Amino acid sequence: MDIRYAVGKSQYQRMTTDELRNEFMVDLFETGKLNLLYCEVERAIVGAAVPTQSCLALEAGKELAADYFCQRREIGVLNIGGNGTVTVDGTDYSMENLDGLYIGRGAKEVAFQSVDKDSPARFYLISYPAHADYPTKQAKKADANALKLGSVEDANKRTIYQYIHENGIKSCQLVMGFTVLEPGCVWNTMPCHTHERRTEVYLYFGLDDDSRVFHMMGPGDETRHIVMSNEQAVISPMWSIHSGCGTKAYTFCWGMGGENQRFDDMDHIAIKDLK
Ligand SMILES: O=C[C@H](O)[C@@H](O)CC(=O)C(=O)O
Ligand SMILES: [Zn+2]
């Protein structure tokens, strides 16, 4: 697995477009493969598994120096593709589009499969170190805590579906869910915020080939953007806002790890203070 080292605030100030993309953007979805990226930021591992003919097994890799991937880790999974199955220690979880799965520390065997190789499941993974075992549990959109935010006037009307969070599926540090924008709404997380207590990874999906999301990053008084296409993820360091504006509506998966799990622990930044 590739390793992505952290970029400091001062280094960020002088980076070119290419440098920003190489350091913060993550492109892992590949047909028939399971790809992982180890990030120094929060020791997150971001992954994508797109099984076709055969099933794809999750291996620890030498980077973890562990007997199996979840020996000291927990994982959140979101299926953004066709129907599939995640097998955890012999139990099959059948995963439809937008179904989620929390896999707790201690799970020894994790494998991904598609029902139809011509319309494969597309599993997005986000993992953090875990200090305790919480039960593996499936998440369905109907059971998610749905937060309705924004308005049509502000072009940011959207629903936040919380899967793994303080009052939902329990975890050590992982907080995860996804946000769906209404047609014609393009802004997420504007007004924006930081939370030095947690770092976040966004995966943008549900975009056409010719649509893009301008992902906003950086301290509020020193913003930059990264132009993202479908199924690309972006690492948001502790000092960074994470907000986006699309050329049309889109969906994104957000995952966080860190000091606490409090969704409303945010340092809000007023739009008029952005630079
Ligand atoms: O800390 C929380 C995260 O930034 C996201 O959950 C925000 C988000 O999904 C949204 O506003 O649509
Ligand atoms: Zn946030």
Per-residue pLDDT, 229: 98
The answer, yes or no, to whether any atom of ligand 1 lies below 6 A from the CB of 199, is: no
CA of 263 to the centre of ligand 2 (A): 8
- Give pLDDT < 70 ranges for the chain: none
Per-residue pLDDT, 219: 98
CATH number at residue 157: 2.60.120.10
Structure tokens at 107: 């799970």
Burial of 195 (0-12, 13-18, 19+ CB in 10 A): buried
Instruction: List the residue whose alpha carbon is closest to atom 9 of ligand 1.
Output: 179
Per-residue pLDDT, 201: 98
ipTM of the complex: 0.98
Structure tokens at 63: 């980077």
Look up the domain containing 30 and give its range: 2-273
The Cα–Cα gap between 71 and 81 comes to 28
Structure tokens at 183: 């047609």
Per-residue pLDDT, 250: 98
Question: Each residue of 56-110: pLDDT tens digit?
Answer: 999 998 999 999 999 999 999 999 999 999 999 999 999 999 999 999 999 999 9
Per-residue pLDDT, 205: 98
Per-residue pLDDT, 82: 98
Alpha helices in 69-226 (DSSP H): none
Per-residue pLDDT, 33: 98
Q: Contact 177/162 with Cβ under 8 angstroms? A: yes
Structure tokens at 184: 């014609």
Total domains, the chain: 1
Ligand 1, pocket-test mutation among 189, 236, 261, 267, most atoms within 8 A of CB = 189
Per-residue pLDDT, 32: 98
Instruction: List the residue whose alpha carbon is closest to atom 6 of ligand 1.
Output: 254
